[in-house]
Each structure stands twice: as structure tokens, then as C-alpha cells.
Amino acid sequence: DVKVTQSSRYLVKRTGEKVFLECVQDMDHENMFWYRQDPGLGLRLIYFSYDVKMKEKGDIPEGYSVSREKKERFSLILESASTNQTSMYLCASRGSPMAAVLTHLQTPNYGYTFGSGTRLTVV
Amino acid sequence: AQSVTQLGSHVSVSEGALVLLRCNYSSSVPPYLFWYVQYPNQGLQLLLKYTSAATLVKGINGFEAEFKKSETSFHLTKPSAHMSDAAEYFCGCLGGSEKLVFGKGTKLTVNP
């Protein structure tokens, strides 16, 4: 089974701190994603990466940056944490479209796998 | 770009009753559609997916969903609700890009 591991389950940080949220996947997936989940707003895409050192902005990138130095690791960075960034952060990974087509019968979630989430509180 | 609308942020049913969670999508290309479930303090778990094969899709835990192109809908149903079905449910749409777009979620409450 594909595993997506988020390093911290709960984090409490102070306003203005630089915060790193780490995500590691073990299936050699090309695509990795960071979502933010808030009550009543669902999941919103912050950033995604389709290859090492490649990144694209999602729907709400402001206040965040990302780093993808190795294929298996995708880091979300809050340069200066603010209270409005208190949220649940979910990381996901997915193989390439061709790999997904070839393997979807074996991969029940069409290649998308989510981590368990990091609940970040900024005080 | 694709979008997803889930009608009803909260749905409440009695144990044993029909569960119906509504999802409508918008996509410029034929979409792939997903339903995920999230139990408290957990990540997202896939219930089922539509990937242009059969329009009626069966998933885990007795859930199923029907893709209706004419209605741009992908509603999730279960004939008989169980207490363990209480959770939040998210509909997702994958259009021409790599980005999976979600609805805002529907919280299901099951009353004894």
C-alpha cells in the first residue's frame, strides 16, 4: 500500500514563527499536493508539485511556499505564521497519469493517497 | 477549470434510513469523480470513484454513486444508514489538470 506520512499530527506555533510541515511518500509518485481543510470550506489546494524542484500554485498560495528537493518529500513552509493559518493541513500524492491509468485497477484510489493530516494551531 | 458543489453542509438521517449526499460538478472535459470519507481526527479515505467506465459505481461500506452526465451529478447513496457512517463526506473532481478539486463537504449525522 502507498503510504503518505506527515511528520507531525499536532503542532502549536507562535505568530511570526517559520513553520515547516513535512510530507513523505513511499511509492515514487511524481505528483504531490498540499491542501488546507477548514470547517465549511472543504479542502482547498495550496500548492502542488509534479516533479522534483517543480511547483505550481494552487488556489490559496498566499502566505505559503513549498520545497521539493527529493521526489519522496514535499515540504510546506509558512514563512511567518499567522493566526489565520490555524487549520488542518493534508498532504497527498499521486502517480503520473499514465502510471495511474496502468495501475488504477490495482490502486483503489486512482493513485491519490492522503496523509493523516497535521493540525496546526498558531497562537 | 473544474468545480464541485455539495448541496447541504449537514445531513441528518435515522439509523436504517436511506442516505443521499448530493454532488454536482462542472468540468470542461470528461471528469473523474470521487467520494472520500473523513472520520474525526483522521485523513481522507476513498469510498469510490468514477473513471469513465460504468456509470453506477459501487464502493466500500455499502455506498454507491451514479454518474449522470445530463445532470452533471454524482450523488452518493446508501440504502440503510449505520451509526458508523457518521462522518464528513467530500466529493472530488479531477478534470484536465492534475488538481483534484473538492466540494465543501457534507457532515452526516446518524440518529439512533
**pLDDT, tens only, B25-76:** 998 888 889 999 999 878 888 899 898 778 999 999 999 999 999 999 999 9
**A92/chain B closest Cα distance in angstroms:** 10
Compute, in degrees rounded to 10, the torsion defined by CA atoms A34, A38, A43, A44: -60
Contact B73, B82 (CB under 8 A): no
Contact A95, A104 (CB under 8 A): no
Question: CA-CA distance, B69 to A20, in Å (whole number)?
Answer: 42
Nearest to A42 among B42, B46, B102 (CB): B102
Write out the DSSP string of A70-105: ETTEEEEEESS--GGG-EEEEEEEE--HHHHHHHTT
* Band of pLDDT at residue B1, cut at 50, 70 and 90: confident
B53 class by beta-carbon count within 10 Å (0-12 exposed, 13-18 middle, 19+ buried) = exposed
Instruction: Tell me if A108 and B46 make a contact (CB, 8 A cut-off).
Output: yes
Task: Give B16's DSSP letter.
Answer: T
Contact B103, A42 (CB under 8 A): yes
* Band of pLDDT at residue A58, cut at 50, 70 and 90: very high
Determine the pLDDT at residue B71: 95
Size of interface A-B (CB pairs under 8 A): 56
Query: What are the two backbone dihedrals, phi and then psi, of residue A28, each rounded to the nearest 5 degrees?
Result: 60, 30
Determine the pLDDT at residue A68: 97
**B76/chain A closest Cα distance in angstroms:** 16
